[in-house]
Amino acid sequence: MVVTLQQHYPLLFTLIYSMPDKSYRLSDYDYHLPQENIAQHPAHKRDHSRLLVVDKTGDMLEHRKFTDIIDYLRPGDLIVVNDTKVFPARILGKKITGGRVELFLLEFPRQLSPCPEGEGWHEATAIALLKSSKRPKPGVTLHFSPTLTAAVESYQEDGKANVRLHYRLTASTTDLESVLEAHGQVPLPPYISRSQGSTREDSKRYQTTYAKHTGSVAAPTAGLHFSSEVLTLLQQKGVVVEHITLHVGYGTFAPVRTDDIRDHIIHREYISISPTTAAAVNRTKKNGGRIWAVGTTSVRTLEYATDEQGEVQPIDGVCDLFIYPGYRFRTVDNLITNFHLPQSSLLFLVSALAGRERMLHAYNHAVEQGYRFFSYGDAMAIITKE
């Protein structure tokens, strides 16, 4: 179903497009979202979610199903996905007093040399959040199992804890990642509120089918819609699929607390683009193909790596690019994404791409039409290059 704004909403069209499209006030990025619109579980199948197409070139909204995304890409286009892998960052344990404690790792731990506790024991350091009835003091050891403990070394000014993990490898846990998988839980976002917490289903569905490089505490959720079948059909159509890596950090959930969004300090995240991917993107642009980013993580990575001449460069480093209205996109043409929180930095990004009023109208329309929002919710395709 196609909704043409100018034809179906003439007064609204005149109103929203006569207003200034670029605002830096946080309050101008708000919208009403009923609790029932926040998805608590994924769709029955990955590619069975709904798809709201926002066509900037024709000022249209179109209601489709996600598998229809194939219809919008053409031979010679290139789609970029983020192949980061979510690790089980939430670990439940006890203090030496017996009180419960939750350790939330904010990064994949940095492995150290084998520690002196005995054969098979290893150490790693990490930054974490601790949740308990009383904050553990520095020097306290937290117990998660006979083969995994964590010593609280110190606290940072913002309350984050520096911890040192001690873990013992076994026949079933042969490296740090498998240790965390054995003891940890998938760190679902705070807006997914269930009495039973994360489930075995989440360990599979809160992960993309192409996840490869471990390092994220949250999934690049736009990619959750892509089944292997959809990716295969795209490639058979002549669409090039390339991978980048951005490890999603806890900062992606950090609320914006400044009235002027330009004063917000964006979070820093590790990114990587291979020479092969950079060359493929540049070649596609030169040949007139469109660059489709899957998720805001792919957008930030590609735009950060684009030089002044408009060429994407290989990179292995840290990205702190903050995209908000007024930003000039140099690489990304179209975006496949999910619906984002009100007053969030991700809503700023999509507003920079398609226009604030257009996006707010699309979001309000999606609410009215019963779309499911956020990580396990439905998808949106933003088309700026026809």
pLDDT in 10s for each residue of the chain, 386 residues: 655 544 555 444 444 444 446 799 999 999 999 999 999 999 999 999 999 999 998 888 999 999 999 999 999 999 999 999 999 999 999 998 899 999 999 999 998 866 655 667 899 999 999 999 999 999 999 999 999 999 999 999 999 999 999 999 988 999 999 999 999 999 999 899 887 778 889 999 999 999 999 999 999 999 999 999 999 999 999 999 999 999 999 888 889 999 999 999 999 999 999 999 999 999 999 999 999 999 999 999 999 999 999 999 999 999 999 999 999 999 999 999 999 999 999 999 999 999 999 999 999 999 999 999 999 999 999 999 98
Exposure of 325 in the CB half-sphere (CA atoms within 13 A): 21
For residues 29 and 348, the answer to whether their CB atoms sit within 8 Å is yes
Beta bridge partners of 107: none
CA angle 10, 16, 19 (to 5 degrees): 135
Q: Which tokens sit at 5?
A: 């704004």
pLDDT at 1: 60
- Residue identified by tokens 């839980």 is 185
Tell me whether the CATH fold assigned to 2-86+204-383 matches the one assigned to 90-185: no
C-alpha span between 34 and 39 (Å, rounded): 11
For residues 294 and 222, the answer to whether their CB atoms sit within 8 Å is yes
DSSP state of 309: T
Beta bridge partners of 294: 336
The total of other beta-carbon atoms located within 10 Å of residue 226's CB is 23
Handedness of CA 135, 140, 145, 147 (dihedral sign): positive
> Domain locations in the chain?
2-86+204-383, 90-185
pLDDT at 57: 87
C-alpha span between 173 and 179 (Å, rounded): 5
The total of other beta-carbon atoms located within 10 Å of residue 137's CB is 9
C-alpha span between 169 and 106 (Å, rounded): 22
The total of other beta-carbon atoms located within 10 Å of residue 208's CB is 24
For residues 175 and 134, the answer to whether their CB atoms sit within 8 Å is no
Fold category of 2-86+204-383 in CATH: QueA-like (3.40.1780)
DSSP state of 137: P
C-alpha span between 349 and 342 (Å, rounded): 12
pLDDT at 220: 97
Q: Which CATH architecture has domain 90-185?
A: Beta Barrel (2.40)
Q: Helix, strand or coil for residue 270? A: strand
pTM of the model: 0.91
pLDDT at 10: 47
Q: Which value, in Å, is the radius of gyration of the alpha carbons in the chain?
A: 22
pLDDT at 19: 46
